[in-house]
Structure 1
């Protein structure tokens, strides 16, 4: 056989082999690296749905025969700001990794899972073998470049305190500010908060018949913290809280008309934003600071403070593709939050506070963003900063997904699983939580009626009530008998408790527990119940500061160049923080830090 004939025969043989596979209908599969080979999708655009925190997430996925070409989010009800990181990062990740095994975005877990579910739902319609898409893509290690930056002011932490400090620094003459945030989005714990801001607001309170004073706010903050807090810091907080309200309003933040009393606030002085949760604070402050030139570096974790000649002059940090040295000409402001998402660190310091290693359940959940693990406290301690009140923590009487129709107490009462009240609803948070631990299953129900439900069915914290009911977080019923049946409590007990409570509302006197904050009777159907239980929420301890927000060393002397604001600090709230005081804290002391670093 000639060479030419042998070659032709071989080509014919290969062709017949290929056709035999095609005739059997074999589909190409993923190789050992998880790379998708040709012909696994039916090309086109497909829609899919998943369930996020706020409800349905709808996406459109476009594919050709062998690749995911694009992912677009068509519809969602997630809270603006809270879930932005998931919507910004995940659509690109599916395309880059050609896989549905993408990582959720820290701080946006519910939204991330909803998007992933929706994309899977869409891809299933393409005829693909989903197992080929469930292999996690291998990301090649790339050497990170070293980068140096310089600004007058460097801020660590992109929550409310850090952003308030950035805006304040500019207002006090700063020409350049760099803010480092280790999460994929701004907001920290502030954006997840209920949004209440305690401040004596004379005009609005007078219109509602509420008597209040700064002196009363000071006294309740001190006594509510079991007389542990630093009175000088408490006075700074309370005396400057209302100025923070007007400052934010001047930057564009919108406030609701009514003043309320959130759980644990101990009085009706809680100013509430129009925007849901804490999104209004972050949106307002970030917009103002970036408009002035603030450089914000996301996904950038600060690891170490730089000391030269006894002064803090910068930060060593790590970003997605770089190792950074960020120098600060005037100073560094620490605003990294507390450590309530770090259960090991919480338990490390427990001793003689309200909660101890004996009375704090090991499985208690946290309301905090996952990155709030004490980074700033550790960095400060490493250079000799003094820590204060580390044994004091606070539980919120409900997880952040169980605020329910209202976070205020004036139009609510609480019952245990026997259908009976067990605590004064306007008490301090530690009082409510400790009493809850004594109830069956360590749980209780908040009871409301339809008088507090607005026409748009939005809760006080801005969430969609219908979605909360659909998710089973809130129970709705047309009668107390029906409500009792749905939540599994004795109907006679619930009706008797409601009748007694309503009589106390009428007389504004609570013969059982001494409640003092009153709203309206609970008597108009539909009725609502929200199951609640305590969750780790706030850590009162942290870096010791003075009234100028200068961080102090172990001899109570300021550490040159280092300032701190927000939950990373200690000494303000004592052994228990009043509900609504945290946002006042971050705004008041964030502003002071921005002014102090600029020498004002």
Structure 2
């Protein structure tokens, strides 16, 4: 009996040792690392110590942004049998997380990556001169809207994008879209909105510095633009809920499924694919081609190093976004917004379209007006979508535990108020009751978990616990919560005239989140007319040149109201596409 037991143990040891020896050559191994929005988990298949395949089995990264990044890095790793790959510019945190996850799996397999880092390059060469009716610069919401309408009007269209992924700021936004008299307002019983009310809110929200005729086009076409996204592009909006962003007199912001711009961008890309509109990523436009005073195309360069010419027989549409990620350009027009401010924007928002259009004679306006978003991650500068609970009753307090501003004020007003507080920071406080209304934690679970991990958000059973976590005076926070609860009961905010609906904070659990302002939107840009044609410094049309979206400076004035960007890019993107296709 004893001999059998020893024999069994020996056999088990042999099997164990055999599996350990063999694990360095064959098998499937899992690895994990943190990306931009949480854990990335991969499965790496190894045969004869060579990488055969890599699968992402878990990820909280934006699927539209991350998929092409993962695929490019995977292809290089498999081809070179080496995980020592350089991060892709423009998707640095996501690609670093993916690379680290693969390397974690390879370590478990007993395989090391060494040697010089491999740069992921675009190797596919193409025709150096190509001709289209309409060339669209920028693959964000404005660019796709323009391209689809140009194609519908009969034009042969191409979209050029310098980044490795599509979407721009639209993709990483909350994706909410303001529009009056929509089906959702009808569903929730809002009957006191109109295009005129929306117009007045928007004009006032920008201190009357937006051009009235452009704001009117925005307001008058917002509803039809929303219906176009819903009916033709198949964007899914939540049917029974709206946001009321700061500066708006009523709830009117449509909320896409998933509460991010990924819904809009993914559906726009699907539609563009259906229409066979080519989207050329990693293709940077360097300059506009001007012949006899007319813009007739663009010169570009791809990652393969090719110099390319794209002729445009009818028009070029600039939809390149703003310049929030270009610190030097920010300082040029507003010295206050220097390196001490992080940005919510994608790395590609560097003002290229404004600069190249200026070289072609374009006029610019409102460049000094640069907006900060008040509630952002203090470590990364990224906008917090979990914090959208603010729109349903969450309150802002300072280090002393006191409210200091109306939570539904304009973004610029809230940001300035935060910067006047101790530590130039704020804390957003809400409870389970508010979260049941907003549902932001469930919808943005990966961000919530990341904030918890970073120590920037804390769930507390009591207000004492919440105050202690961030070293806020307990008595002051309790006093503030009691006062707000009283306002919630009597329906009147006696301190800051909250224009929405406050919610009682008498019961927990509570959530408290630390936040700072971060550069978010540049209101200034190219001057366009009501047909989206770019104007020169004398107010004359530059033939063949159109623009739409954040690259323009005519709509928002000193401050853009929340939810107006998606409306802007869709309304004016569509107009630019139709007019460029017609050569109007």
- Pairwise mapping of residues 400-439 of structure 1 onto structure 2 (< 5 A)? 400-406=382-388, 408-439=390-421
CA distance in 2, matches of 1:143, 1:118: 27
- What residue number does 1:8 align with? none
- CA drift at 1:63: 3.6
CA distance in 2, matches of 1:259, 1:566: 23
Task: Return the match for 1:70 from 46, 53, 58.
Answer: 53
Are residue 387 (structure 1) and residue 364 (structure 2) matched?
yes
CA distance in 2, matches of 1:582, 1:140: 33
Q: Secondary structure at the match of 1:534?
A: strand
Task: Return the match for 1:496 from 479, 492, 500.
Answer: 479
Q: Structure 1's 98 and 264: CA in aligned 2 closer, same or farther, altered over 3 A?
A: farther
Contact 1:545–1:551 under 8 Å retained in 2? yes
CA distance in 2, matches of 1:514, 1:141: 55
- What residue number does 2:329 align with? 345
Task: Return the match for 1:326 from 278, 297, 310.
Answer: 310
Q: Secondary structure at the match of 2:210?
A: coil
Q: Secondary structure at the match of 2:493?
A: coil
Deviations along 1:147-183, whole A, 9 cap, x unmatched? 1111111100000000000111122232x11000111
- What residue number does 1:161 align with? 142
Which stretch shifts more, 59-68 or 163-172? 59-68
Contact 1:60–1:71 under 8 Å retained in 2? yes
- CA drift at 1:103: 2.5
Task: Return the match for 1:182 from 148, 162, 168.
Answer: 162
Q: Structure 1's 183 and 202: CA in aligned 2 closer, same or farther, altered over 3 A?
A: closer
Contact 1:82–1:192 under 8 Å retained in 2? no
Task: Return the match for 1:588 from 557, 571, 581.
Answer: 571
Deviations along 1:244-293, whole A, 9 cap, x unmatched? 11111102111112111135556421111013410111111111122112
CA distance in 2, matches of 1:330, 1:205: 39
Normalising by structure 1, report the TM-score.
0.86
Are residue 566 (structure 1) and residue 549 (structure 2) matched?
yes
CA distance in 2, matches of 1:470, 1:139: 31
Are residue 575 (structure 1) and residue 558 (structure 2) matched?
yes
- Pairwise mapping of residues 254-293 of structure 1 onto structure 2 (< 5 A)? 254-256=236-238, 257-263=240-246, 265=248, 267-293=250-276
- CA drift at 1:503: 1.6
Are residue 442 (structure 1) and residue 424 (structure 2) matched?
yes
Q: Structure 1's 486 and 65: CA in aligned 2 closer, same or farther, altered over 3 A?
A: same
Q: Secondary structure at the match of 2:257?
A: coil
Q: Structure 1's 471 and 546: CA in aligned 2 closer, same or farther, altered over 3 A?
A: same
- CA drift at 1:197: 0.8
CA distance in 1, matches of 2:73, 2:121: 19
CA distance in 2, matches of 1:138, 1:312: 35
Q: Which has the higher helix share?
A: 2
Contact 1:85–1:105 under 8 Å retained in 2? no
- What residue number does 2:13 align with? none
CA distance in 2, matches of 1:224, 1:287: 34
Are residue 149 (structure 1) and residue 149 (structure 2) matched?
no
Deviations along 1:507-532, whole A, 9 cap, x unmatched? 33222222222143234422111211
- What residue number does 2:181 align with? 201
Which stretch shifts more, 531-540 or 218-227? 218-227
Deviations along 1:392-424, whole A, 9 cap, x unmatched? 111011233533252552321100111110111
CA distance in 1, matches of 2:319, 2:261: 17
CA distance in 1, matches of 2:119, 2:183: 60
Contact 1:476–1:483 under 8 Å retained in 2? yes
Contact 1:366–1:537 under 8 Å retained in 2? yes
- CA drift at 1:184: 1.1
- CA drift at 1:46: 2.1
Deviations along 1:543-588, whole A, 9 cap, x unmatched? 1101100000111111100100000111110111111111100000
Deviations along 1:367-404, whole A, 9 cap, x unmatched? 00001101101110111111111111110112335332
Q: Structure 1's 100 and 407: CA in aligned 2 closer, same or farther, altered over 3 A?
A: farther
Task: Return the match for 2:70 from 87, 96, 99.
Answer: 87
Q: Structure 1's 142 and 168: CA in aligned 2 closer, same or farther, altered over 3 A?
A: closer
Aligned pair count reads 552
- CA drift at 1:70: 3.1
Normalising by structure 2, report the TM-score.
0.89
CA distance in 2, matches of 1:591, 1:138: 38
Deviations along 1:184-236, whole A, 9 cap, x unmatched? 11100000001111111355335545432222221121111112110010111
Which stretch shifts more, 108-117 or 578-587? 108-117
Gaps of 5+ in 2: 1-21, 377-381
CA distance in 2, matches of 1:470, 1:347: 34
- CA drift at 1:141: 11
